[in-house]
Amino acid sequence: MLKRFFCGVAAFTLAAAAAASPSDELAAAVAAAKSGSNVPAVGAVVLRDGAISAQAVLGVREAGGKAEVAHDDVWLIGSTGKVMTVAMIARLVERGVLAWDTPLDAMLPDMAASMRPEYRKVTLVELLSHRAGFPRDLRNEETMVKFFRDSRSSTEQRLSYVAAALTDEPEAKAGSFSYSNAGFIVAAVIAERAAHASYEELMGAEVFKPLGMTRTGFGNTSAGQNRGHQHGKPMLHMARLEDGAPRMYAPAGFLHMSLADWARFNLDQLAGAAGKGKLLSPASYRLMQTAQPGSPAGLDWGVQQSIAGRQGPVLVHQGSDGNWLAIAVLFPGQGTGALMVANAGPDMGADQVLMGLAGKLFGQLSPAKAK
């Protein structure tokens, strides 16, 4: 999975058509950003005043095909889904099923003897803010590839993954920032074992159902649906690390959903920043949206004071499995945000398309940063 923090965009201006509706303006911005690119389809949502103020989609589900993307199509949202994993775990913490500060050797006591000593006192907060020291993914690529062919349940696969991850040499010292998908798989296994339910069941019960998110799923989308692309072709089969991620990687950001459902979660994050969230306690929203000491990340939002010359604070997240690219940007102080996604990876220019689109949107989401 690609690095997901959206750290900077060069000098943007907004060119808005007079007397056009917000959705018409967004559609025009999407068309302009996508024009001349190799990206098959782009989707975008603008959030304002506690609701979707504009939504637009443009393009086809598969390169070379005729089926156009629809407003209720699902899109893979990559590592922007990590924030949803955090929200699920926060719900368990609030009910006393888990605790933020319990050490890893106490959360996984049967694995304590075999885990490296550097990991034994790591906490959930450190796991979910990329401060636990784990490598980005398993160091042994042969082990990683086996999960594409593994017929066991995702829960069983994740447990095997964690057993291997706990013996991997740390990438960094605990407490310092080092981006890690592995840390999120470890946290998901802890939640599964404490709650006696699969990650997929927990996400449905703790996040999707409470927020009315009904068009959601785990892993890649199916043939005949909106598909991710690499090298100009739709990705129909996953067999190698270069192809994407195995389905069991869902806690690290391998979720797909409709734009409306993606928006429902992020609208709740904006509401939570204003003390009106539905899903979590005020303390949980603050923890998620506040950068940890010496780190650019909360749990698991990237936290910035400004972006592209616009006034912050701003919560940012970017994610890709190489076949899709998704970007979420929220301005809690303004109650605004933008969600942008393409059914292609950076190798087809999706990053340029979405950054160009962001440049056309940020001007209407937050005032210019004071000089």
Nearest to 162 by CA among 243, 218, 85, 107: 107
Q: For residue 312, which phi and psi values (nearest 5 degrees)? A: -100, -165
Residues sharing a CB contact under 8 Å with residue 353, sequence separation 6 or more, in sequence order:
33, 34, 37, 39, 42, 342
What was the pLDDT predicted at 39?
Answer: 98
Helix or strand (DSSP H, E) at 162: helix 154-165
CATH architecture label of 85-200 = 3-Layer(aba) Sandwich (3.40)
In angstroms, the CA 358 to CA 27 distance is 13
pTM for the predicted model, two decimal places: 0.93
Does residue 11 carry a pLDDT above 60?
Answer: no
Residue 1, pLDDT > 70, answer no
Give the per-residue pLDDT at 369: 87
- The predicted model gives 329-350 an average pLDDT of 96
Identify the DSSP state of 362. G
For residue 2, pLDDT over 70 is answered with: no
Torsions phi, psi of 343, nearest 5?
Answer: -90, 45
Is cis: bond before 313, omega within 30 of 0?
A: yes
At CA 10, angle to CA 7 and CA 11, rounded to 5?
A: 135
Whether residue 300 is preceded by a cis peptide bond, meaning omega within 30 degrees of 0, is: yes
Asked whether residue 10 carries a pLDDT value surpassing 60, the answer given is no
**pLDDT on residue 282:** 98
Question: Which of helix, strand or coil describes residue 95?
Answer: coil
User: In this predicted model, what pLDDT tens digit does every residue of 207-248 receive, in sequence order?
Assistant: 999 999 999 999 999 888 999 999 999 998 888 888 899 999
Query: Where are the CATH 3.40.710.10 domain residues in the chain?
Result: 22-79+213-364, 85-200
**From its phi and psi, is residue 162 left (phi > 0), alpha (psi between -120 and 50) or beta?**
alpha
Token pair, residue 86, equals 């955090």
Tens digits of residue pLDDT in 248-276: 999 998 999 999 999 999 999 999 999 99
Tokens at residue 291, please? Answer: 């950068």
Please report the pLDDT score of residue 18 as a whole number: 41
DSSP per position, 301-361: -EEEEEETTEEEEEEEEEE--SS-EEEEEEETTTTEEEEEEESS-GGGTHHHHHHHHHHHH
Q: What is the CATH number of domain 22-79+213-364?
A: 3.40.710.10
Helix ranges, 7-153 (H): 22-34, 82-94, 104-107, 124-128, 141-146
Using pLDDT thresholds of 50, 70 and 90, give the confidence band for residue 165: very high
Query: CA-to-CA distance for 362 and 311, rounded, in angstroms?
Result: 10
pLDDT in tens, 81-122: 999 999 999 999 999 999 999 999 999 999 999 999 999 999
pLDDT tens digits for range 125-164? 999 999 999 999 999 999 999 999 999 999 999 999 999 9
pLDDT tens-digit series, residues 169-215: 999 999 999 999 999 999 999 999 999 999 999 999 999 999 999 99
The pLDDT-based confidence of 20 (bands split at 50, 70, 90) is: low
256-281 in b/e form (b: 16+ CB < 10 A) is bbbbbbbbbbbbbbbbbbeeebebbe
